[in-house]
Amino acid sequence: MTVLAESTGLLEISGVSVTFGDQRAVDDVSFSIGAGERVGLIGESGSGKSMVCLTVQGLQPRIAETTGTVRFDGQALGRGEVRGVRGRRIGSVFQEPMTALNPVMTIGAQLVTALRAHGLVTRRESRPRAVELAAMVGLPDPAHIIDRYPHQLSGGQRQRVVIAMAVSCEPALVLADEPTTALDATVARKVLDLMVRLCTELGSALLLVTHDMGVAATTCERLMVMRHGVLVEQAPTAQLLADPQHDYTRRLIAAARSTGLDLAGAREVLARQQQGAGNE
Ligand SMILES: Nc1ncnc2c1ncn2[C@@H]1O[C@H](COP(=O)(O)OP(=O)(O)OP(=O)(O)O)[C@@H](O)[C@H]1O
Ligand SMILES: [Mg+2]
């Protein structure tokens, strides 16, 4: 194995392709994410966004043929290496919280699953730690809510649980694949702000997958655009909005404008967020 001395990114994806038969779901994708950086991955349905996230975690379907390299913190990640990293140094939040949660396990037990799996808390420390995590994500009555089951929580509360699980081990990177599409607009914004605030506090980098240019523009410092498996464009948010290079990016921006997104406003929100303390 060769070690890249000049490698600076926390996550470095290089020439990654994921192929199903003769269909290329991900086509020669390369990008890098620095420590603490927030990057948005946008693109239409079927463009390969989720497959990129899955591949980073070694969770792409086994029938797929994968080529290229995924490097995390200087280490090449294969399906074997990724096991020690997943959940601990890379946390993930997916679209539908119900699929991420075990319906027959209490919230408290699930909140500490990753910590327990990686030997970071003892059985005795588990309960107080679960209460702490529930409080951290703003769940009501943390001392009691941890004894409930997922179906006894609202959708927004469930996604807060999943976010707490994702950041419980203070990961260096959080992968969030459409984390708020299952929620209504006001709840979605609060959950998104919470996630961004926690990542900022913990110094975690964030890869946010969304098909919503408005959400990406108000959350991320840099944006990447995918189309038909290809990463067609990547640039700092303000630059991408002001001077998109690819016709497809121009269309995404125009579509976002037509639904009322104020892109100048988006830039201001981003500047404010970068200055520090987010507020919910
Ligand atoms: N198990 C599979 N077998 C064959 N093809 C698959 C499989 N899983 C995904 N694909 C294909 O991979 C491509 C990329 O899918 P992916 O889920 O990454 O898209 P996406 O950008 O996340 O879309 P969406 O916005 O709808 O979530 C799609 O064309 C999809 O049909
Ligand atoms: Mg997807």
Task: Walk me through the domains of the chain, giving residue ranges and CATH numbers.
Answer: 11-273 (3.40.50.300)
pLDDT in tens, 82-94: 888 888 899 999 8
Q: Which pLDDT score, from 0 to 100, does residue 274 have?
A: 62
pLDDT in tens, 120-143: 999 999 999 999 999 999 999 999
Examine the pLDDT at 9 and tell me if it is beyond 60.
Answer: yes
Q: Which pLDDT score, from 0 to 100, does residue 4 have?
A: 47
**What residue owns the CA closest to ligand 1's atom 31?**
46
pLDDT in tens, 136-193: 999 999 999 999 999 999 999 999 999 999 999 999 999 999 998 888 888 888 899 9
**What residue owns the CA closest to ligand 1's atom 12?**
25
Say yes or no: CB of residue 53 within 6 Å of ligand 1.
Answer: no
Q: How far is CA 186 from CA 6, 121, 137, in A?
A: 43, 35, 16
How many Å separate Cα 17 from the centre of its chain?
20
> In which residue are the tokens 């990293």 written?
85
pLDDT in tens, 192-228: 999 999 999 999 999 999 988 888 988 999 999 999 9
- The number of the ligand 1 atom at minimal distance from the alpha carbon of 52 is 18
> In which residue are the tokens 């588990």 written?
126
Say yes or no: CB of residue 25 within 6 Å of ligand 1.
Answer: yes
Decide if 160 contacts 191 (C-beta within 8 A): yes
pLDDT in tens, 22-77: 999 999 999 999 999 999 999 989 999 999 999 999 999 999 999 999 999 998 98
Alpha-carbon distance 41 to 18, whole Å? 17
Q: pLDDT averaged over the chain?
A: 89
Q: Which pLDDT score, from 0 to 100, does residue 278 have?
A: 41
